[in-house]
Amino acid sequence: MDCAGTWLTSCALRTGYFRSQIEKAGIPMRSSSEFADTLAAPLASEIDELAERSESLEQRVASLNDSYETLKKREVELIEWRWVLKEAGGFFDRVCLSLYVGMLASS
């Protein structure tokens, strides 16, 4: 595959990735036919700029997805710790109450 073919394949993959992420997030998209009358053929330099920008955006979206997954895992861990602390607090409350009642009974 030549350089242009590789470049186009890369852009097509990136576009597919963005589409899947947009659909996953439930963001509505307008049809490309809505832009048919207003779009002129872009210049090669504009295409190159868009390709570079899409690459950096792809990396950013991937990074955000990773961060989101990490945050969700941490949220689950924090919920577990909250439950553990709540149960431990209840245990110590019962122990203290039992000790207090025992002290009252012995006096």
- DSSP readout, 32-46? GGGGTTTPPPPPHHH
pLDDT at 105: 81
Q: How many angstroms separate the CA atoms of 55 and 48, rounded? A: 11
Winning range, highest mean pLDDT, from 12-16, 32-36, 40-44, 81-85: 81-85
Q: Tokens 């955006």 correspond to what residue?
A: 57
pLDDT at 16: 86
Q: How many angstroms separate the CA atoms of 37 and 107, rounded? A: 93
Each domain of the chain, given as residue ranges in start order, spans 3-26+49-106
- The answer to whether residues 93 and 52 touch, using CB atoms and an 8 Å cutoff, is no
pLDDT at 68: 95
Winning range, highest mean pLDDT, from 5-14, 27-36, 57-66: 57-66
Q: How many angstroms separate the CA atoms of 100 and 69, rounded? A: 46
42, burial (CB in 10 Å: exposed 0-12, middle 13-18, buried 19+): exposed
